[in-house]
Structure 1
Amino acid sequence: MKYHDSIVTAEKKMHAAIKQLQLWHIAATPINYAVSYGYLNKHSKALNAAIEKQLAAVKKLDNFFLEQIYSQYILVQSAFRGELIDDLDEVLIDLQANSQQSSSCTKRLVTQLDDNMVRLNSTDKDEIFIAIKKIRQTTQEFKLTQEKIVEQLLVSKQSTEALRSELEDVKKEIYLDPLTRLYNRKAMAKHLELWCSADPDQQVAAIVINIDQFSQMNESLGPLISDVLLTKIANKISSYVDESGLPIRSAGDEFLILLPDVERSMAGEIAEKIRQSVEKLRFISSKSGTRLPQITLSMGVSDYNVATSAHNIINQTRALINQQANRRTNFVSIANS
């Protein structure tokens, strides 16, 4: 049990966690329950602070937000679990031991060679014979030791590759949205940091994408179908992003695309192609055969210096949509020059 509670205490906290989710008007999914349980236990100050900040801003706690909290504050702690750290320690210890052993053997070989070089210059045949014998013995020992070290290094290499693979899986869990497999905000901040360190003057175009009337669709169709729609739309959006671009799920029904070194006008053309492409999509329920409502997008396009914070990029570009959201849907709004 993660928090080492007694059965009675754990049961009380379980009921409290469920009650907390009810107060937040959130379904008791495993992820939501884990966040609620962690929130009540107060084992992570950062987790509690993030939730309190969201509540203080009078923002709704939805499934998407709690998934982010789970990924950032609960999953990360378990992902970089003790076993992984222990494995890393073992590999480092092995490598250090192998290095020390190799260094020691090399020094011993050099010492033996130095000691017996004098005997090789002797006129005494017995002395020369003894010197050759010791040199041969020492080099044989050195060879055997090096072969063992090579074997041990091979094992260490295999362990390192396994750890690297596991770390890649951890990165995916940390930096990818679990539903759409697009990048999340944490990944966005990381990429901006890397781009900025490479070139502080680099420009990046931003496209914010909102799904029109998605809240109403979610209520009428249910979360399962809504999740399928989100995934389909995310796939369509990412198909318009090349390897240099970054497709992000920035909110429950909102996506963001970052395009380094792309002009604002070009980003606007890409946004329009995405809007038209999604508008043409037709969704039919596999169970009932009923055609689902047409989906349209409202989009904002602007550009920024890579040093701009992720928060400001999203909010400022989102404002381009909010300025017209009350008047119309299914549009692309490009910031003025």
Structure 2
Amino acid sequence: MKYKETPSQAADYLRQAVPLMVRNRIPPNPLNYALWYAYVSNQLPELNVALDSTLKTYGTCPNLLSEQLFRKHLVSDDAKDTEEIHNGLVNLVNTLHEQASVAWEQTDSYSAVLRESLEALTDFNLTDTDALPLESIIRTLSLKTEAINDATRLFQQQIDAAQSEIAALKQELHQTRQDASVDVLTDLFNRRVFDTELEQLMQLGSLQELSLILLDVDHFKRFNDTYGHLMGDKVLQYVGRILKDECAEPLIPVRFGGEEFAVIAPGLGKDATKAIAERLRKRIEAIRIRQKSSGSVISSITASFGITCLRSNDDHSTLIERADQALYQAKLQGRNRVCSDSDGQ
């Protein structure tokens, strides 16, 4: 995005953006300033639609979505947002600049020789023994032509290599972003994202409901011991796929750690959250995995669930602890079930 505003226009946009951020509890960091500056300037209608939808869903703009919107609407695909990648692109530009300079020098030299040769040919007289011999002119032109061809060929090779390097850098940038927020095995968000998003959503307090689901694959250690870790990884991948299928926005599914998963449910109360957990439980119970070695089908995969809802005096740890206690109760009661922290109260 290019900023073309005058200083007074820019100041006016900032005066509009800051109250919006305060009213919607948007953290005052440079990334969010850029997002909401662009919002009030109304230069990117798609961004405005996305932010309006996010505010309607969450009552704020969670950090994860802010980063995604920033990358999508304000930064190009080959953005240099890490020093290493930035330096890599700078080196590429420098290399191409050097090769272009060499090619230009060769071209300039060739032009000079061509001028001198044409002048010599113009003055050439078969009876003039002091004139530059025709054979010498042709030889000089031939050598210079070969040199400029070599320089041009080298420059083209550098261009081709640069394109490959840029593609590799873009892939590395994409992987860096993925590594920072996504669990490699399950393709779900990781614990880092969980902690960040839960903390921000909890700051909304009484402005909206917020629920948390913790789930644990039953007897997973025993499963690994019986069938091996590769089969265990396959189970975790199946569970991750189910969570991605069933937990559309505004739900945030994550791999909490090991065989444990979590779902943050903003805007949902106990009954709606319990219904989601029950749907997940049934789908996990329906998992069937065929062993290639024996051909037998494994159908004993289940999970236990604990859910809780945000209370006025909660902090990050008390909310998680209460969901964990509900999960523990589900295991005590026989596993493969959903328990709430308020059940039996």
- What TM-score do you get using the length of structure 1 for normalisation? 0.50
The structure with the larger Rg is 2
- What TM-score do you get using the length of structure 2 for normalisation? 0.48
